[in-house]
A = this chain, B = another copy of it.
Amino acid sequence: MLTRIDHIGIACHDLDATVEFYRSTYGFEVFHTEVNEEQGVREAMLKINETSDGGASYLQLLEPTREDSAVGKWLAKNGEGVHHLAFGTADVDQDAADIREKGVRVLYDEPRKGSMGSRITFLHPKDCHGVLTELVTSAPEESAEH
């Protein structure tokens, strides 16, 4: 069951400049940064609020590390902006299976590694009214109340 907005993924050309925009304009601070070589992105997570399921909602700022990554190709076509929307669940495997059963295309056979040790999968935007949709199960230490 999807129990929170986990994050909004925002594609940008220059991660440092975009982090600085969010800090200086709104006061949002970086909670975590990492490079995900599999996804081909360098990213910063800005924690905005905690959520009633014991998790949190973040902005995920994404700069491609290579032009042929999914985010790199999306940026070349669309320019900077909202790239995807992610919902948090305690069980991404079960939810992905249930949603696939309903005829929505799930992009990975098995969940892959996401931010902060999470496990993630994506749903095809053409099956989701134009929204590239991610499902996320946080790493055990992240899903606890904190």
Contact = CB atoms under 8 A, between A and B. Distances in A.
Interface of A: 1-5, 8, 10-12, 18, 21, 24-28, 48-53, 57, 79-82, 85, 87, 99, 102, 104, 125, 128-131
Contact of A80 (B21, B25, B28, B129): B129
Contact of A49 (B4, B25, B85, B125): B4
A2 B26 contact: yes
Contact of A85 (B21, B25, B82): B82
Oligomer: number of copies = 2
Q: Is the interface of A mostly helix, strand, loop or mixed?
A: mixed
B79 A4 contact: no
Contacts of A57: 4-5, 49, 51, 57
A128 B24 CA distance: 12
B129 A18 contact: yes
Contacts of A25: 99, 102, 104, 128
